[in-house]
Structure 1
Amino acid sequence: MPDRPLVAVFAMILSAMPVMAQQAEPPGAQAAPVTVAAPAPSAEDAAFAAFLGGLRPRAIAAGVRPATFDRETAGLTFNPRVISLDRGQPGGTPGGPPGVMDFAPYRRSHVTQVHIDKGRTRYQRLAAPLAGNEARTGVPGKVTLAIFGLETGYGSFTGNFDLIRSLASLAFEGRRRELFSAELIAALKLIDQGVSRETLKGSWAGATGYPQFLPSTYLRIAADGDGDGKADIWRSEPDALASIAAYLKDAGWKPRTPWAVAVLVPSGFDRTAIAPKLTSPRCPRVHQRHSRWLTIAEWKAKGVLFAGAAVPPDTELASLIEPDGAGNTAYLITTNYRSILDYNCSNFYALSVGVLSDEIAR
């Protein structure tokens, strides 16, 4: 037989193998089924399942239907990415001088012309429901629009994490077990109320919809803004804006009062005389950047110059914040600024909401 290349020889052998195997099989014989054993669950998976099982009685006692709990948690797996994102969040420790915030770069990247233009368009298009919201709650439409814009880009990005899995993973991890266990139960209640699992998508931290509400916040606050009898914060802009207004009202928003007024602090100003004397129990580093509260009349007497048009009455209390340090624009913030902080306890966030809201209405 003439020599053949090895590749050709191997190909001939391989092509013959199925035939040889078939010829060796007795007539009428059938291949025996192959049983592959399922891999045993990891210790973490087993612990996660046990945690959910332990949460079941509490959820049912809180009003979740047993069938809902069983269906929505069946086959649920732990999501380590959620925990990684949670642990990667920047944090600060209280104590020590707060330093300069350097707000200007953050403002440039968050209060963009695109955000302003989109807000102004909606300000005109949604004028009627925004006016209705303000009549009910005292919260200006420009402020609710600014939060809508900063939270989700006016609904363009709301997150794609499965809320049930995210909340269950965060509860199981344990650092804030009580918080996220309660939020998981609240999310299951939403499903019982007719919100689909597919709708319950959002951030890794469990916030959902245009306003990025936690499930318990939706149950407590969500409002119907378009009059259809539902509070659909996932698809209805009027509902989302009405819900944001309801949240700020619940957080203590004071009607007919600006969030802040821009000011210029005179050279040589004695800042030690206005240093805060109390430590806030919530977000201490955030509140440490604020001065103690004085009336507008007292600020005027100290030589503070008002650069903004909406100057509150002389009797209104205000606190000074200098986000870019001495010599730059500062703000006398009112209690309404604190209402925005209740939504998201960050000075960068609250300042951005306030500045964007003013630009929207300009």
Structure 2
Amino acid sequence: MNGFAAYKQRLIAVSRQAGVREATIQSTIPFLSLNERVIRLDRAQPGGVNNPNAIPPFAPYRREHVTADLIRRGQARFRNNWAQLSAIERRYGVEPQVLMAIYGHETSYGAVTGGFDLLDALATLAYEGRRRDLFEGEFVAALQLVDKGTPRSRLKGSWAGATGYPQFMPSTVLRLATDGDGDGRANIWSSELDGLASIAAYLRDAGWKPNVHWGIPVRVPSSLNRAAIVTRVTAPRCEAVYRRHSQWKTFAEWRALGVQAVGRTIPDAEMATLLEPDGPNATAYLLTTNYRAILDYNCSNFYALSVGLLADAIAG
């Protein structure tokens, strides 16, 4: 604890350097507490201490995150808020069912937003040091939210620092939180429409292309030469996630290779990449650039696939 007490002095210096008001600094940083549970949870993550990053099968993850209950509740919200969701789509160009699916996936439609004190959690993660630069920056951003009028008591969230209905990190709240209900405030903690509009703003910022579906399930012929479609591009981030994607080809080119859509299709000229999450001869998907926008939200193929599939089920 003595080490954490000394570290608070660094947080004070960093916050002052970022221009945080002295009153905000003095009312928060001296009273921060080290959260040992946050440290345990962080070290249990894939890539953390003594935790190999093995890839499990997709089906159990899908069963957990694309449930009948999430579909039913998402469909009800989708119907009841259709006029407002349509307005958000006109404003941002993002499919409203994808917004609803992310909202459902992240917080079970607002039911589970996290009860950790955000400033304690972020300070703890910064002190731990595994990703100090990231979490120091997010801690300062949280103080800047307080400076801008967000009540300290509202800053609750996940152990990793995500908050509100969209589960944004504080820096993302500062940058992209959006008024979706027309009351002049961007309140992602208690306004569903603000949360949904903020997710739309995020996806547009991540490169969402209007009028393009995220992807489609496909059947892949046993004759497909997978060695010939291996990607030659090294992703600048989330390399292991993107390494599982094939080269980009148009849908017409995929069809010429014998890949067949299951259900809906995408336009012949649309570019797509092939992902077989469980390897050959199992489930397979052709994914558009908008799938990449979902990956920007959470860089996990299982996450992005389950969001897309939940969105399709919500839209019916």
Matched, 1:125 2:87: no
Moved more, 331-340 or 74-83: 74-83
The alpha-carbon distance between structure 1 residues 77 and 171, as it changes in their structure 2 partners (threshold 3 A), is: same
Q: Which of 168, 175, 186 is the equivalent residue of 1:213?
A: 168
Residues 23-44 of structure 1 deviation map (CA, whole Å, 9 limit, x = unaligned): xxxxxxxxxxxxxxxxxxxxxx
* 8 Å CA contact 2:11, 2:29 repeated in 1: no
Secondary structure at the counterpart of residue 203 of structure 2: helix
Distance 1:52 1:277 in 2: 45
Q: Which residue is 1:90 aligned to? A: 46
Count of residue pairs brought into register by the alignment: 312
Give the aligned partner of residue 321 of structure 1: 275
Output one character per residue of 1:125-158: Cα deviation in whole Å (capped at 9) or x when no partner.
1111211111111101100000000000000111
2: CA distance, partners of 1:330 / 1:99: 20
The CA distance in 1 between the partners of 2:293 and 2:74, in whole Å, is: 21
The Cα of 1:100 is off from its aligned counterpart by 7.5
Tell me how far apart the structure 1 counterparts of residues 300 and 13 of structure 2 sit (CA, whole Å).
Answer: 37
Deviation at 1:307, TM superposition (A): 1.0
SS at match of 1:217: helix
What residue in structure 2 maps to residue 39 of structure 1?
none
TM-score (ref. length: structure 1): 0.83
Aligned to 1:5: none
Which residue of structure 2 lines up, in the alignment, with residue 189 of structure 1?
144
- Conservation of the 8 A alpha-carbon contact between 1:292 and 1:320: yes
Counterpart Cα distance in 1 of 2:128 and 2:222: 51
Q: Does 1:175 align with 2:102?
A: no
| Matched AA of 2:272 | A
Query: Distance between the aligned counterparts of 2:159 and 2:7, measured in 1?
Result: 20
Specify whether residues 339 and 352 from structure 1 end up closer, same or farther in structure 2 by C-alpha distance, changes over 3 A only. same
Instruction: Find the partner of 1:61 among 14, 17, 40.
Output: 17
Q: Which residue of 2 aligns with 1:340?
A: 294
Unaligned runs of 5+ in 1: 1-44, 93-97
Out of 280, 302, 305, the residue aligned to residue 235 of structure 2 is 280
- Code of the residue aligned with 2:45 in structure 1: it is Q
- Partner letter of residue 304 of structure 2? A
Is the deviation greater in 52-61 or in 326-335? 52-61
For residues 157-172 of structure 1, the aligned pairs below 5 Å read: 157-172=112-127
Q: Secondary structure at the match of 2:31?
A: coil
Measured on the aligned residues, the alpha-carbon RMSD in Å equals 1.6
AA in 1 matched with 2:19: G
Q: Which runs of 4+ in 1 moved over 4 A?
A: 98-101
| 1:246 pairs with 2:189 | no
The answer on 1:355 being equivalent to 2:273 is no
Indicate yes or no: 2:226 matched with 1:271: yes
2:256 corresponds to which residue? 301
Indicate yes or no: 2:32 matched with 1:76. yes
Q: Percent identity?
A: 58
The answer on whether the counterparts of 1:103 and 1:348 sit within 8 Å (CA) in structure 2 is yes
Contact 1:100–1:325 (Cα < 8 Å) also in 2: no
Confirm whether residue 116 of structure 1 aligns to residue 74 of structure 2: no
Indicate if the aligned counterparts of 1:263 and 1:304 stay in contact, CA closer than 8 A. yes
Task: Name the amino acid aligned to 1:108.
Answer: R
Q: 1:331 aligns with which of 282, 285, 294?
A: 285
Larger Rg: 1
For residues 295 and 164 of structure 2, the distance between their equivalents in structure 1, rounded to whole angstroms, comes to: 19
Going from structure 1 to structure 2, the CA distance change for 1:99 and 1:212 (only over 3 Å counts) comes to closer
Contact 1:283–1:345 (CA under 8 A) maintained in structure 2: yes
Find the aligned partners of 2:181 and 2:199 in 1 and give their Cα distance.
Answer: 14
Q: Tell me the alpha carbon deviations over residues 156-198 of structure 1, each in whole angstroms, 9 at most, x when there is no partner.
A: 1111100010101111111111111111111011111221121
Distance 1:295 1:244 in 2: 28
2:165 is paired with a residue whose SS is: coil
TM-score by length of 2: 0.95
The 8 Å contact of residues 100 and 324 in structure 1, kept in 2 or not, is answered as no
User: Which position in structure 2 is the counterpart of 1:21?
Assistant: none
Unaligned runs of 5+ in 2: none
